[in-house]
Structures are given as C-alpha cells and as structure tokens.
Amino acid sequence: MHYLDYNEKKQHGTPDFPIEYYHVDEHHPRYNMPFHCHKELEIIRILEGILYLKLDDEELEAKAGDIIFWTAEGYNYAHADALSTAFGEAGTSCSPIFIAAGAGVKKGYYTTRYIREVDVAPTAAVLGGVRMPRECEGAIVYQILAEEF
C-alpha cells in the first residue's frame, strides 16, 4: 500500500497551536471516515454507539466510553519509537509538553510532576466522566484536577 497517497494535507489547528476539535456524528460529512494518515496525534472519545476501526489487518470495535489514542506510524521516529519521556528519548533534547484546560482542570496551574504519555488516557477518562480504559497503565494526574477524587 502507498501510505503517502493517503496522507492528509490539511493543517489541523495552527502552527503555533496544532490542536483541532471535531465532533463527528451521523450528520458530519466524514461520518464514514476513509482510510487516511497524518502526522498529528489523534484522540478519539466514543460518546455513544460503536466505532469500527481497522488497524493493519485487525478489525477493532470501540464502544461508548472508550478513548482511543493514535500516533502516526513513523512520524514519531524522529525521537525514537515513542513519545518522548521527561528526559528526552534516544539521546534527544525533546521533552514532553502537557497542556490541559477546561472543565475540571485548575486554571493557571503549573506542576513539576513528570506527566508521561500513559498518564493521558486515565486523566482524560476522569475528566470525561467515563470508565478507566481496560488496559490502562498510567496514573491520573491528580495535581491538575480542580476537585479531589
């Protein structure tokens, strides 16, 4: 398969803030999403119903309450085969940036805690009021939450 043929050319967000929000329901023009790839991370939260996905040759089923976290294959290899750790991966100087805002998050708060990539899903689950992902390995970032849990 020629994956470059499926690369989205669309800018998501802005160069300074490369984050975009999409609410896709049965009325959205991309409700039946074609195969595509892009360099950005993608976080999908299933609000209701079932989402059928295909990853390589494996068909997957996500249900209401599930959170799916995708990284673009190959794009993150500039800093090894993972998002960077607190100290930079594979000898790089790249370290993570974690930004959270909105309902349930303290305003203007800064933490010195190292927030790892595996901490994103459990924290998003608590903020979204959904069950913890089945095979969650990370920890909730309690320090940023406006309420105690």
Cα distances from 45 to residues 8, 60, 76, 85, 114, in angstroms, run 21, 15, 22, 24, 24
Give me the tens of pLDDT residue by residue for the chain, a chain 149 residues long. 555 677 777 777 777 776 777 888 888 887 787 777 766 677 888 888 888 887 777 888 888 888 787 765 444 444 444 444 444 445 544 555 678 888 899 998 988 888 887 888 899 889 888 888 778 888 999 999 998 76
Rounded to two decimals, the pTM is: 0.47
- pLDDT at site 141: 92
- pLDDT at site 13: 76
- pLDDT at site 83: 46
**11 burial type by CB count under 10 A (0-12 exposed, 13-18 middle, 19+ buried):** exposed
Long-range pairs for 141-145 at CB < 8 Å and ≥24 separation?
141/98, 141/100, 141/111, 141/113, 141/115, 143/109, 143/111, 143/113, 144/100, 144/105, 144/106, 144/109, 144/111, 145/104, 145/105, 145/106
- pLDDT at site 76: 41
User: Is the C-alpha dihedral spanning 120, 123, 129, 130 positive or negative?
Assistant: positive
